Structure 1
Amino acid sequence: MTPTFTVDTLFARMWQDYIHRLCPSAEQVHQLLEEDKPLINDHIALRTFNIEPLGIETLAKPFLALGYQEGDDYVFESKKLLAKHYEHPDPNQPKVFISELKVEECSIQLQSIVARLVAQLDANKLLTPEFLFAGRLWDISYQEYQQLAQESEYASWLAAHGYGANHFTVSVNQLNAFAEVVDVNARLRQAGFVINESGGEVKGTPEVLLEQSSTMADKVLVQFSDGEQHIPGGFYEFAKRYPTSDGSLYRGFVAASADKIFESTNQ
């Protein structure tokens, strides 16, 4: 029997998948930053291909069923990505950022590999929310993974890992010990983490109402059809939001910053 999900249980299941399969170091980040109350998760991010039945709308369905509403759209021309964010009427619930690769704009070779992967898909697995943390729904060789990575790090990551949160995000606004993103970065560096410096170690400014940073992705062991390999998995992000003209915290995303956050999973 399929379990009934609430917002809390869905994110709890996604968190368990994230820390066990994609980003084991996330628990260490919690130990470094957690205070007298649990860390607030600002948002998660999910990746997909824009091929039926795997587009953004499919990944959004379980969240919409739990009361989430559509937010803004984002375009990443150089990476051939589209994205949309979703938010819950309760501002304390995490936002969801879902992106998709515009496969038809990629090379014939990439299109061919992705078509072969999607052809293996059992569409019935997409009917329940569990597919959001089900991992890979197809077989792929390490050689194919490398071929994809030469053209699109995004495509290779998705092809290798499948479905799951590629990051969770600490809300810096909720921290007492750290007022600024740069202070969080310094604490993480002190503990041995590598910070994503693409576009600067802090992406965004108070003027655009959002500042973000992230660790570089953990290297995790993945089983390919031709053997096991260590490749980039998930990472942890940190976000500070600033008030809009009405005094409420900005709830959207900044495409120029998100563009550089994507590169946290680059090899």
Structure 2
Amino acid sequence: MDSCQALFDRLWQDYTQRLCPSAQKVHGLLEEGQPLINDHIALRTFALPNVGLDKLARPFIALGYEPKGEYTFEAKKLNARHYEHPDPLMPKVFISELMVGQCSTTLQSIVRDLVANVDDDALKGSDFLHQGRLWELDWQTYKTLADESEYAAWVAAHGYGANHFTVSVNQLNNHDSCQAVNDTLRQNGFTINESGGEVKGDASVFLEQSSTMADRVPVQFSDARHDIPGGFYEFAKRYPLPDGELYQGFVAASADKIFESTHQ
């Protein structure tokens, strides 16, 4: 069986090569002589029996991860859950799924057709988590999905892979807040997600977060090649709870805006 580290190494390789090449530059700007601590990664899928959230969670559960918080994003028609490993040094995993049945009949039909041929064998083990798209998709279909749901279009185009990794701001000495990180990145040409404010959350909810806007990356569709939003980099600072332990969950109102890092 994979070790946790081997799986995250492969997810990182896919993320930096296919979805967010600029992540390497972020490391160069923020590293302080030791590897950056990854607070969490996020994965996306469709809430359909053969490809739903639970299928994506299986490889992590096999490595000892346990389900923790549950989240609902009604406007975006998303459900999500986060998972934690007994080893606190292992990143948390945040998995979301589009509630396809709540979408238009057009979107439902498209998505069900896309994933119809994804069988359980394709989702055995953990390799599928960083292998991208498991179906064919043409450019017009992508645009039709994007008109209704940026999230649906993103999953349809990119398939599986981490849409973001997250720097733990708590470990940094030269940056004591997400705002300080944002300032450094903006000075170096990055665009910051300003939806809901540059920094989402604060000490009152025990978590502050910010993120870059997604890299535009080339995607080969069945009939054309186009640059579309790929992955982004997030930054999280966690605050201690009354018992002194750092808060380990997520804040739905903040996560809702982080999703928009991949919007056009």
TM-score (norm 1): 0.98
Instruction: Report the alpha carbon displacement of residue 123 of structure 1 after superposing the two structures with TM.
Output: 3.0
Asked if 1:190 corresponds to 2:181, the answer is no
What is the RMSD computed on CA atoms of the aligned residues?
Answer: 0.6
Stretches of structure 2 lacking an aligned partner (at least 5 in a row): none
3-state DSSP class of the match of 1:204?
coil
1:264 aligned residue: 261
Large movers: runs of 4+ above 6 Å: none
Instruction: Compute the displacement of 1:120 (Å).
Output: 3.0
The residue correspondences of 1:95-244 to structure 2 (distance < 5 A) are 95-244=92-241
Secondary structure of 2:86's aligned partner: coil
For residues 141-168 of structure 1, what are the alpha-carbon distances to aligned partners after superposition, in whole Å with 9 as ceiling and x for unaligned? 1100000001000000000000000000
Q: Could you tell me which runs of 5 or more consecutive residues in structure 1 were left unpaired when the two chains were aligned.
A: none
Aligned residue in 1 for 2:34: 37
DSSP 3-state at the match of 1:229: strand
Match status 1:77 vs 2:78: no
Distance in 2, Cα, partners of 1:58 & 1:142: 27
Q: What percentage of aligned pairs have identical amino acids? A: 66
Aligned AA for 2:183? Answer: A
Give the counterpart of 2:13 among 13, 16, 32: 16
Per-residue CA distance 1:23-60 (angstroms, 9 max, x = gap): 00000000000111100000000000011111111111
1:48 equivalent among 45, 55, 61: 45
Counterparts of 2:243 and 2:161 in 1: how far apart (Å)?
35
TM-score (norm 2): 0.99
- Per the alignment, residue 90 of structure 1 pairs with 87
C-alpha separation between the residues in 2 aligned to 1:206 and 1:133? 34
Once the two structures are TM-superposed, the CA of residue 22 in structure 1 deviates from its matched residue by 0.2
Aligned residue for 1:47, secondary structure, equals strand
Amino acid at match of 1:61: R
Residue 88 of structure 1 aligns with an amino acid whose one-letter code is H
Number of residue pairs the alignment of both structures matches: 264
8 Å CA contact retained: 2:51, 2:118: no
2:220 maps to a residue whose letter is Q
Cα distance per residue 1:64-84 (max 9 Å; x no partner): 111111111000000000000
Distance (Å, rounded) in 2 between the aligned partners of 1:178 and 1:153: 32
Q: Could you give the per-residue CA deviations for residues 156-191 of structure 1, whole angstroms, max 9, x where no partner exists?
A: 000000000000000000011101110000000000
Shift of 1:132: 0.7
The DSSP-based 3-state class of the residue aligned with 1:203 is coil
Q: Provide the C-alpha distance between the structure 2 equivalents of 1:33 and 1:260, rounded to a whole number of angstroms.
A: 23
Tell me the amino acid that sits aligned with residue 8 of structure 2.
F
Secondary structure of 1:257's counterpart equals: helix
Which residue matches 1:64? 61
Aligned letter for 2:114?
L
Residue type at the aligned position of 1:189? R
